[in-house]
Structure 1
């Protein structure tokens, strides 16, 4: 009789762990698919020499993000996730072309930024999964940091302040790393049950981390 409540508790914990693992697995599978699709669209943009999107990037991003949020619990959510990540891939193409065209070591900078982003993601994700630490305390800081970096980025863009833009890249780099830890930890600890929104968070973190590294590495080369 004494083991009955213990068995119930053990079954509950096991069920929660299985659910968390399922969400984590689905998130990584969808993230891999969206990254591949985004890379394909970036390649298309580069091949067609599509011009830089400018502020259209923000309009498209927030519009598609709104669509994902509204359909996150239906099959339509998957369609909008690929629309969002495909669009972000298109916006990346002109940026990569600019690095290849105007910087003598542009290809090296791109590969370094890509490799650093991949290693950082794998390391941060592995740490969050293995340690199972609770990073929920970072939530408020990440929200404030993201909003602050976004607002400062607009100031740097409209007033053409390159030094401020470097600070913005540094802020986004830190926020992106924090979001990877935060989101992965939330999934592992059972706080996230929607793999569509989890995928979007991780994708945007990787996108911003990659762009920030491109900017910082280019500046480090005095270009």
Structure 2
């Protein structure tokens, strides 16, 4: 039995093989389990906000709430309170995305198709990139600094697009985030596999934010190019 488990944890590419150690395997399992729970929880809070027709809290409250809960989660990441904090963070993000989804459903006659397409594309992309990151022998650790710089630039550009209502820039930012989040999924997953990330709470937060931003970016792009009023 142990041999079968160990064999299943070996990454094969071509003729080579690399074994995932027990600790990395456990972190990866815990991360995916917690990620699934937080996605379900955030979906619940999003549905709750939609059912009650709650308005979007606005850019300022969204950023304050997000970064406040993010820093709290980072501070509590090594304690049981970190689990409560990560659910608070992801639940809050669900509350903010609910009104946006409602807006797409109301603004476009094919809004349901747009949302489902964005969800499906996000899910397929995440699973495909996760499988790639776990099985490939190529090292993507070099992408860390590039991703950080790219996300910072995209975030600042997104703020400018939102504040000054720059639609064209907003589309560029969505395209940038779509690419950057794909890279972040691969990078973070491989960090777990290679032992660079041992805290499954922070790994979950990174992957959750990647999925959240990827979905929002794809929804924006689909709405612009394929939305029917």
Answer whether TM exceeds 0.5 for this pair. yes
The higher radius of gyration belongs to 1
Give the ranges of 4+ consecutive aligned residues of structure 1 lying more than 3 Å apart after TM superposition. none
1:23 pairs with 2:37: no
Q: Corresponding residue for 1:215?
A: 220
Deviations 1:41-96 (CA, angstroms, capped at 9, x unpaired): 00000000010122111110000000000000000000000000000000010001
Listed one character per residue, the Cα deviations across residues 138-178 of structure 1 (whole Å, up to 9, x for unaligned) are: 01110011000010011111111100000010111111001
Judged with a 3 Å threshold, the aligned counterparts in structure 2 of structure 1 residues 99 and 222 are, in CA distance, closer, same or farther, namely closer
- Aligned with residue 33 of structure 1, among 28, 32, 37: 37
Give the root-mean-square deviation of aligned CA atoms: 1.2
Distance (Å, rounded) in 2 between the aligned partners of 1:114 and 1:221: 15
Q: Is the 8 A contact 1:132 1:188 kept in 2?
A: no
Q: State how far apart, in whole Å, the 1-side matches of 2:133 and 2:225 are.
A: 30
Scaled by the length of structure 2, what TM-score is found?
0.89
Unaligned runs of 5+ in 1: 1-12
Q: CA deviation at 1:132?
A: 3.9
What aligned pairs does 1:35-54 form with structure 2 within 5 A after superposition? 35-54=39-58
Residue aligning to 1:9: none
What is aligned with 1:91?
A: 96
Q: What SS class does the counterpart of residue 21 from structure 2 fall into?
A: helix
- Maintained 8 Å contact 2:118/2:219: yes
1:200 match = 205
2:111–2:227 CA contact under 8 A, matched in 1: no
2:120 to 115, 119, 131: 115
Distance in 2 between residues matched to 1:29 and 1:133, nearest whole Å: 25
Tell whether 2:142 aligns with 1:126.
no
Residues 2-38 of structure 1: CA deviation (Å, up to 9, x unaligned): xxxxxxxxxxx97x70000000000000000000000
What is the CA distance between 1:222 and its match in structure 2?
A: 5.4
